[in-house]
Amino acid sequence: MIFGVIVAGGVGARLGADMPKQFLQLADRPIIIHTLDTFLKCPELEEIYMGVHPGWVEHMARLVQKYIPEQERSRVHLVPGGAERNETIMNVIEQIEQDFGSEEPHYIITQDGVRPFVTRRLIREHVNAVLQYDAVDTAIPAVDTIILSEDGRFIKDIPERKYLYQSQTPQSFRMDLLKRLYLGLTPEEKGILTDACKICTVRQVPVHIVAGEVSNMKITTAADYKIARIMAENGELDTKSS
């Protein structure tokens, strides 16, 4: 089976709001509902799981009740998140295994809850790619020169830009592969993880790249939120059927 997994376990401290950023309004609905709505419109995804901060699960349940049509609600499953992103994903995997077993291969298409401009094109390409490659990332070419500094004061290196990409989500995996790799990491290796794809690269498992979209931004700061509101007002949320 193929599952959508929306990661929404953060508290959004960098935005300085009085609630996690995924629950802030964007146009007519909360940010997280835009992300969920796009996932629900993808028939390739059989069920949608959401990893939510434990203190906000009830709030998320009320949002689903308010904004998601009744006929779609049964596809949405809420799971309390962990202390960090990958723990949240592992909590979701455990719940999927409890609900649907682990005898047959399952695949997960994971998405940041605060990337509401994800498109169905991206999700479809991930579904096709993960069935072939088992581990898939989304990335766009870096447009700025990237510098490397170990102390934040002096440049150590300037890598060639043509080899550099900015990672986005979705990130997609054969579920049993990701779980096995994560459980096999040492505490030190878990400490250097930045996202789920890093679980694969630490163990030299190839990760395929799907071309991302500049508009598929992550809302992290107050400036991001302002840009996202302008984008939403300009109709850039994914409402197309293609």
Q: How far apart are CA 81 and CA 8, in angstroms?
A: 8
Q: What is the pLDDT of residue 227?
A: 96
How confident is the model over 192-208, as pLDDT tens digits? 898 999 999 999 999 99
Domains located in the chain, CATH noted: 2-233 (3.90.550.10)
Q: How far apart are CA 129 and CA 136, in angstroms?
A: 7
Per-residue pLDDT at 22 exceeds 80:
yes
Q: What are phi and psi of 64, to 5 degrees?
A: -60, -45
Cβ-proximal residues to 154 (8 Å cutoff; 6+ apart), any chain: none
Cα 158 vs. chain centroid, distance in angstroms?
29
How confident is the model over 61-83, as pLDDT tens digits? 999 999 999 999 999 999 999 98
Mean pLDDT of the chain: 93
Q: CA dist 210 to 63, 102, 123, 197, Å? A: 31, 27, 10, 13
Q: Would you say the C-alpha torsion 224, 229, 230, 231 has a positive or negative sign?
A: positive
Q: How far apart are CA 153 and CA 40, in angstroms?
A: 46
pTM of the model: 0.93
**Checking phi first, is residue 204 left (phi over 0); if not, alpha (psi -120 to 50) or beta?**
left
pLDDT-derived band of residue 235, with 50, 70 and 90 as boundaries?
confident
How confident is the model over 81-101, as pLDDT tens digits? 998 999 999 999 999 999 999
pLDDT-derived band of residue 18, with 50, 70 and 90 as boundaries?
confident
Q: CA dist 163 to 139, 206, 213, Å? A: 12, 16, 18
